[in-house]
Amino acid sequence: MAVSDECKLKFQELKAKRSFRFITFKVNEGTQQVVVDRLGQPGDTYADFVSAMPEGECRYAVYDFDFVTDENCQKSKIFFISW
């Protein structure tokens, strides 16, 4: 299965610039490619991410999770999610 160039570009934007809170991807049956489905804005919450995931349909996603460590240090991790 091929992955569209847009998927790679949007992921690099999320990773380098934190342009998005999350990106969801879907399989385009016509072209047999993984394509961008939805881009979450930086201010979106985890609840916004969950509501973007359709019931009964396959999706892939990356989510940029912000958190504070026990030492009071701001951190961020990117998670890959298979839905």
Cβ–Cβ contacts within 10 Å for residue 15, how many?
13
Torsion sign, CA atoms 66, 63, 81, 76 = negative
Predicted local distance difference test score (pLDDT) of residue 1: 85
Q: CA 23 to CA 78: how far, in whole Å?
A: 11
Q: CA 74 to CA 62: how far, in whole Å?
A: 19
Give me the domains of the chain, ranges plus CATH numbers. 2-82 (3.40.20.10)
- Measured at the CA of 69, the angle between CA 66 and CA 73, to 5 degrees, comes to 80
Per-residue pLDDT of the chain (83 residues; tens, 9 = 90+): 899 999 999 999 999 999 999 999 999 999 999 999 999 999 999 999 999 999 999 999 999 999 999 999 999 999 999 99
25, 38 Cβ separation under 8 angstroms: no
Predicted local distance difference test score (pLDDT) of residue 22: 98
Predicted local distance difference test score (pLDDT) of residue 15: 95
- pTM, entire model: 0.91
